[in-house]
Structure 1
Amino acid sequence: MNRFCLAVTFATALSCLSNSAAMAELQVGAAIVDVSPIEFPVLVNGGMTSKTAKQIKTPVSSRAIVVSDGSESIALVVVDSCMVPKVLLDDAKNRAAKRTKLKPDHIMISATHTHTAPSAFGALGTDADLTYIPLLRERIVESIVAAEANLQPARVGWGSAEAAEFTALRRWIRRPDRIDNDPFGNPTVRANMHAARNPDDVTGESGPEDPELSMIAFESHAGVPIAVLSNFSMHYFGDSPPISADYYGLYCNGMQNYITQKYPDAKNVVATMSHGCSGDIWRRDYAAAEPSQYSTIQSYTDALLNIATETLDAIEYDDADTIEMAESRFRLNYRVPDQQRLQWAQQIVETLEGELPKTTTEVYAREQVLLHDLQSTEVVVQAMRIGDIAIATTPNETYALSGLKLKQQSPFEKTMVIELANGADGYIPPAEQHPLGGYNTWAARSAGLEVQAEPKIVATAMRLIEKVSGKPRRPLGQPNGPACQATLDAKPFAYWRLDDMEAPIARDSSANHRDAIYEPGVVFFLEGPASAALTAIDEPNRCAHFAGGRLRSGIGGTPHGYSVSMWFWNGMPADAREISGWLFSRDHAHSTTQFGEHLGVVGSGENAGRLVFKQGTSDESLVGSTVIPRWTWNHLVLVREGSNVRVYLNGSETAEVQSESAAPPHPGLEQIFVGGRSDNDSNWEGRLDEVAFFDRVLTDDEMKRIASH
């Protein structure tokens, strides 16, 4: 090859590199289009039965952000709507693709879940408003087209803040003696929304919260804000009358006003609020002694904006060298009625004679007929990255736990999870929540997908995040605080930290690989004891809540004695039953024998709230002296040494329960049960954490270090 050819080749290579660099420049455009109805009355969904609106209190909008690097472009759209069905969104994506350079599978459209927007989706007692749908579809398309037309060179930044006082668990677990009926007349409701209005009815929350307020912000190279995409897990505030964008609209307008006052050149800035995983979340904290001070939608929004604007001001911006997006579509089955329920439903629907249902029973009867006709549906899951920021989506009302699963495992520390995106496929409780029942599980188009829908959708989103990142997911697990390390240093037979995120495996954190099994009736990843000795100071310790299920494991024979260490939190009122709950049991399954040993907390009577140890089937038992308050964390160590039984509470050097004349432990009892008795009588109702079993007697020094907090 001559020098001229070499020069041409080199120049061509430089040109390609230069073009590649130019193509990789981040560009962002944003736009807002009003999607308010123009014909009234208009149907409004979000309630059990149908209602209409005749006026607009606050406009509802489609807010679009288009991000491009010259070779790849993605659109992020948030619409003020309760839910928008996949068929409508697919149509809008295809129409937008014809008018832009975007591909349909590179467009994400989500709903804010305001319950005061025009009905775009038929759910429960409300049908979709067929007059409104064409307008909504066209206005969504217009927002995407306008956002692309506004593309300009930009930089991206990430912000994150804790906003715990603005979100809380609304789904609580009911006491086993206060189970409620479902719409089909069956006593299945162990957990339900707002069940904690009467604290005596419940034992605790059914899952964790996600208090993170996150945001992705874009600014021009001149430092002028272009767009801000926020994300928060709070179901909705509630506004009246419709039509209203709820707090989402107020938040977006407030953010835009703040930005334009600070940056006069940012006249066209677009702020949007996407819906985080909020299926079991609302604004009222039933665990708090006093109601929230933010009693109005405006005071709530203003206070949340104070956190948001401080977070925005602290964001540092950078160039994004990579834009990627991946999508998966697959079918899921509905939980269709059996023949008996279908016949019951059809008889009720026939009496409606084409009219909309007016009672809860009529609503759910009609839903059974509709699910029977549908049988299955296609769902859409997406993941995308903008530089070192990831976004994952679900087409559902997803529990906070589902979002935490993705955030905890994502290869990106900066990960946002947007729900009700690309479809309106209803609630997907984690699989272990289904046996607890409640509104979120009652089969309907708004909650009708198969029991395994949540793990399948979360697994798909996680796989897509891995795909766009090119990296594997992060392993689950909490860091070890000094008390945890002391437990490990004592060489436990098995150590279950109970920080798992799903059933059925309780991971053994010792080196012995002795995983245990969760039975149905256990929920996961709630906040455990607030002790820096257990985990990192800036990371909450996690535990499991037991609601009728147990943890069970084989331990082999321990003829010379054993020890058990655990944290416990009792959810049962003292007068609920004779034994509030059994914490630990060693006996043959399905029975209590003369050789069994059981440790629990007394319920009603003069010894209410005290530890109790019982051996065999006699009526005699050992009772402690300290009354343990409900809903408080406590630590115990049970030591069994020959005929000697000792139980220590909260690090005390004096035994709370002690006997020198108990029968020796029977070596043939090779199973233990945590969170319940061997015969399933009075199983634990509350939280447990950091359970360690030792096939020997712990020393006083070991117990002291393990109990430190």
Structure 2
Amino acid sequence: MIRFCLAAALATTLTFLSNSAALAELQVGAAIVDVSPTQFPVLVNGGMTSKTAEQIKTPVSSRAIVISDGSESIALVVVDSCMVPKMLLDDAKNRAAKRTQLKPDHIMISATHTHTAPSAFGALGTDADLTYIPLLRERIVESIVNAEANMQPARVGWGAAEAAEFTALRRWIRRPDRIDNDPFGNPTVRANMHAARNPDDVTGESGPEDPELSMIAFESNAGVPIAVLSNFSMHYFGDSPISADYYGLYCNGMQNYIQQKYPDAKNVVATMSHGCSGDIWRRDYAAAEPSQYDTIQAYTDALLNIATETLETIEFDDADTIDMAESRFRLNYRVPDQQRLQWAQQIVDTLEGELPKTTTEVYAREQVLLHDLQSTEVVVQAMRIGDIAIATTPNETYALSGLKLKQQSPFEKTMVIELANGADGYIPPAEQHPLGGYNTWAARSAGLEVQAEPKIVAAGMRLIEQVSGKPRRAVTQAKGPACQATLDAKPLAYWRLDEMEAPIARDSSKNHRDAIYEPGVVFFLEGPASAALTADGEPNRCAHFAGGRLRSRIGNTPQGYSVSMWFWNGMPDEAREVSGWLFSRDHAHSITKFGEHLGVAGSGDEAGRLIFKQGTSNETLVGTTVIPRWTWNHLALVRDGSKVRVYLNGNETAELQSDSVTEPQPGLDQIFVGGRSDNNSNWEGRLDEVAVFDRSLNADEVKQIAAH
């Protein structure tokens, strides 16, 4: 009897373990459901004013992938729509949960952001198409149900490639003398989309790009592809409605490629999710020649070439764990003050219930709507599939926001999907708001509070930590030989200007002399392309100054001091008398007798040359080399008693010099980088790798630091 009981217990244990192992096996299913409208005309979102479509150019779809490890199940859904509101998506999730094993908070639904799909969300001059919404909701649910029904044992893999020629920054910073008016009649537009159509109007891009094309692929245990989820940061190409834009063409092209190579993959599902693209488009305004991909098909085919090559490199493995977490919280809208509300209401009253037809009417109506709404709930999610992480935002998020999540994620394999679980509009990083522009004009499509972006990114980062069980990574830039040479020279302070947000510029020396960014600085752009500054091909990062400065204190240096920095001038020479001041040592808000100021001359015979000016003297030291706009250069300012030397690009011969200036004076311990002490003609362009020394550097040290 005892032996029988032991044998039975052992058999039960083995059966339980066997069942547990089976339950732990990754299961994946996928499905595509057509969500094209059946009634015409249909409203189309994505424009300033309302428009309709009468026909379908390409179908629009809901593409779903359901993943389970036996204990947790998640659904990833991508819908061909400009934006889909949270209320509609919550309804779809609850309906899907009743027909599947999924929980509502374990379903992610995102929009591709095609501007040629039926309107599911009221924004700017277009209302939601109320006839279309029930069809969209039901077919999203149907895609989730069908995907779960198609589940089978599977393995997962990750692939990523650089696709820089297919994406570019579309938001550029305007010159301070060419500020535009906003829809409310105020001159606030220092940065705007497509401002670089005229390069003379702008000083440079307002942020970085994210060129990564990433993919999560699933295959059966027999090696047959089941699904591929791609992610890319490019806003949209542009097409005729009704159309899925390049997203649909990409998905169909990927499926055709897989089916030709794997005849058994008849039901493979490819989907393209929208990466962080609020400030991104396909045209590179900085390029000398326009893109060769001037049609949507040519663009898609070329992008697919990269994607299919990357797909062939993916290695598949079992995912030991899947998990998902969600956070919901309220954010305020930037509601109009009483004066603007009164202005807006007067305009809305004249519409007499009709839709707005001008930009002014559109934004007037938006003010009234924001006043009525006051606040909203946003949804942020994070998922883990083995060693792969996915984070979401419910917004049109800038590329920088996606990079913040990717670079801090505990997992190197991290995808960020925007316009997921809601349609809460643009959320520029907080430092972008003072620069104004379309992406900041208060409306339902861009109306959340100024701190919305840091709050949403922080929520996403916390959720990634939660599902991974690991802390976030520290974002630190590698030290190349020129960087190390700067540190070896023992600076008082060394600011690499590689931050992702204000207000602190970290001191990379051991002296803890952090500096402060003023408003009017944007972050994480590409710095000098010198491999000597970083390592292993890592991009060097810098800050772009657009009226703001970097402020710090360095103490008294009566015998002399030195300043080293890289600079990139965005201002045309003829724009003003001084293109911009790079460095200033003086009392704040004034120019005093003993102050010292280094910059680049503007209009006149000295245009494009370095200049050094001391105090209130009329004498100006002028360099010999004309520095081309939009090029990286290195300078070193060396002060030694009554001597001043400024070296350019590591040259042994000084660019400008004098042996008879006034010696550095005690009490002038405040320094300003990227502007003058009185805020006159501040720098308009990029700066990087700023180091301050309490001694005079020698020529060899300057050469090493300048990477020459």
- CA distance in 2: counterparts of 1:444 and 1:628, whole angstroms: 42
Q: How far apart are residue 15 of structure 1 and its match?
A: 3.6
In the alignment, structure 1 residue 23 sits paired with structure 2 residue 37: no
Partner residue, 2:88: 88
Identify the residue that residue 638 of structure 1 maps to in structure 2. Answer: 637
Matches for 1:307-386 after TM superposition, within 5 Å: 307-386=306-385
Partner of 1:670 in structure 2? Answer: 669
The whole-number CA distance in structure 1 between the counterparts of 2:338 and 2:328 is: 30
Tell me how far apart the structure 1 counterparts of residues 530 and 582 of structure 2 sit (CA, whole Å).
21
The 3-state SS of whatever aligns with 1:38 is coil
Q: What's the CA shift string for 1:397-421, capped at 9, x where partnerless?
A: 0000000000010000000000000
Equivalents in 1 of 2:489, 2:14: separation in Å? 63
Q: What pairs with 1:571-590 in structure 2 (closer than 5 Å)? A: 571-590=570-589
* CA distance in 2: counterparts of 1:593 and 1:11, whole angstroms: 91
> Does the 8 Å contact 2:530/2:707 carry over to 1?
no
In structure 2, the partner of 1:540 is 539
| Structure 2 counterparts to residues 499-538 of structure 1, below 5 A | 499-538=498-537
Separation in 1, partners of 2:155, 2:17: 21
Counterpart position of 2:114: 114
SS of 2:573 mapped into structure 1: coil
Once the two structures are TM-superposed, the CA of residue 698 in structure 1 deviates from its matched residue by 1.5
Residue matched to 1:560: 559
- Distance in 2 between residues matched to 1:5 and 1:563, nearest whole Å: 85
Cα distance, 1:538 vs structure 2 = 1.7
User: Which deviates more, 415-424 or 552-561?
Assistant: 552-561
Amino acid at match of 1:223: G
Q: Equivalents in 1 of 2:607, 2:433: separation in Å?
A: 32
Which residue identity lines up with residue 281 of structure 2 in the other structure? W
Cα distance in 1 for residues equivalent to 2:650 and 2:586: 27
* Equivalent position SS for 1:575: helix
> How do 1:595-634 and structure 2 match up within 5 A?
595-634=594-633
2:55 aligned with 1:55:
yes
Structure 2 letter corresponding to 1:277 = C
Distance 2:307 2:396 in 1: 24
Q: What SS is found at the alignment partner of 1:158?
A: strand
Query: How far 1:8 moved relative to its partner?
Result: 5.4
Aligned equivalents of 2:4 and 2:659: distance in 1?
Answer: 99
SS at 2:96 equivalent: helix
Q: How does 1:402-421 map to 2 (within 5 A)?
A: 402-421=401-420
Question: What amino acid is the match of 1:620?
Answer: E
Hey, what's the Cα distance between the residues in 1 that align with 2:86 and 2:5? 55
Percent identity between the two aligned chains: 90
Q: Per-residue displacement from partner, 1:297-335 (whole Å, max 9, x unpaired)?
A: 000000000000000111110000000000000000000
Matched, 1:162 2:151: no
Distance (Å, rounded) in 1 between the aligned partners of 2:589 and 2:250: 55
Q: Secondary structure at the match of 2:242?
A: coil
For residue 412 of structure 1, what is the amino acid of its counterpart?
A: F
Equivalence for 1:438: 437
Q: Does 1:271 align with 2:305?
A: no
CA contact (8 A) 2:111 2:274 kept: yes
User: Could you tell me how far apart the structure 2 residues matched to 1:297 and 1:519 are?
Assistant: 42
Residues in 2 aligned to 1:669 and 1:630: alpha-carbon distance in whole angstroms: 31
Q: Find the counterpart in structure 2 of residue 35 from structure 1.
A: 35
CA deviations over 1:526-573 (Å, ceiling 9, x no partner): 000001100024211000000000000011111111110000000000
> Could you tell me how far apart the structure 1 residues matched to 2:375 and 2:263 are?
51
For 2:9 and 2:430, how far apart are their aligned partners in 1?
Answer: 60
2:140 counterpart residue number:
140
Alignment of 1:443-454 (within 5 A): 443-454=442-453
Rounded to whole Å, the distance in 2 between the matches of 1:330 and 1:607 is 56
Question: Alignment length, in residue pairs?
Answer: 708
Q: Which residue of 1 aligns with 2:694?
A: 695
C-alpha distance in 1, partners of 2:3/2:693?
78
1:73 maps onto 2:73 in alignment: yes
Q: Distance in 1 between matches of 2:521 and 2:305?
A: 38
Compared CA separation, residues 591 and 8, structure 1 to 2 (3 A):
farther
Distance 1:187 1:205 in 2: 20
Amino acid at match of 1:593: T
**1:93-104, aligned counterparts within 5 Å?**
93-104=93-104
C-alpha offsets along residues 264-308 of structure 1, whole Å, 9 cap, x if unaligned?
110000000000000000000000011100000000000000000
Cα distance in 2, alignment partners of residues 577 and 4 from structure 1: 97
Alignment correspondent of 1:462: 461
| TM-aligned CA deviation for residue 3 of structure 1 | 6.7
Report the Cα distance in structure 2 between the residues aligned to 1:250 and 1:148, rounded to whole angstroms. Answer: 25
Deviation at 1:9, TM superposition (A): 5.2
Closer, same or farther: CA 597–7 of 1 in aligned 2, 3 Å: farther
Scaled by the length of structure 2, the TM-score of the pair is 0.99
3-state SS of paired residue (2:575) = coil
Letter in 1 for 2:169: L
Distance 1:608 1:75, change over 3 A: same
Deviations 1:107-130 (CA, angstroms, capped at 9, x unpaired)? 000000000000000000000000
Moved over 2 A (4+): 1-20
Cα distance, 1:489–1:11 mapped onto 2, change above 3 Å: farther
CA distance, structure 1, for counterparts of residue 576 and residue 168 of structure 2: 29
Task: Identify the residue that residue 209 of structure 1 maps to in structure 2.
Answer: 209
Q: Which runs of 5+ in 2 are unaligned?
A: none
Equivalents in 2 of 1:576, 1:590: separation in Å?
23
Q: Does 1:684 align with 2:677?
A: no
1:619 Cα deviation after fit = 1.2
Query: 3-state SS of the aligned residue for 2:57?
Result: coil
Deviations 1:414-456 (A, max 9, x none): 0000000000000000000000000000000000000000000
Separation in 2, partners of 1:236, 1:14: 54
1:336-368 deviation digits (Å, cap 9, x = unpaired): 000000000000000000000000000000000
Paired amino acid for 1:67: I
- In the alignment, which residue of structure 2 is the partner of 1:150? 150
Amino acid at match of 2:135: L
- Post-superposition offset of 1:513: 1.1
Distance in 2, Cα, partners of 1:594 & 1:473: 49
SS of aligned partner of 1:335: coil
Distance 2:9 2:623 in 1: 87
Match of 2:398 in 1: 399
1:605-628 deviation digits (Å, cap 9, x = unpaired): 001000000001111110000000
What is the match of residue 243 of structure 1? Answer: 242
Corresponding residue of 1:253: 252
Q: Report deviation, 1:18.
A: 2.6
Match of 1:180 in 2: 180
Residue 472 of structure 2: aligned partner: 473
Q: CA deviation at 1:22?
A: 1.4
| Deviation for aligned residue 1:576 | 0.3
Cα shift at 1:695: 1.0
Q: Structure 1 residue 667: deviation in Å?
A: 1.4
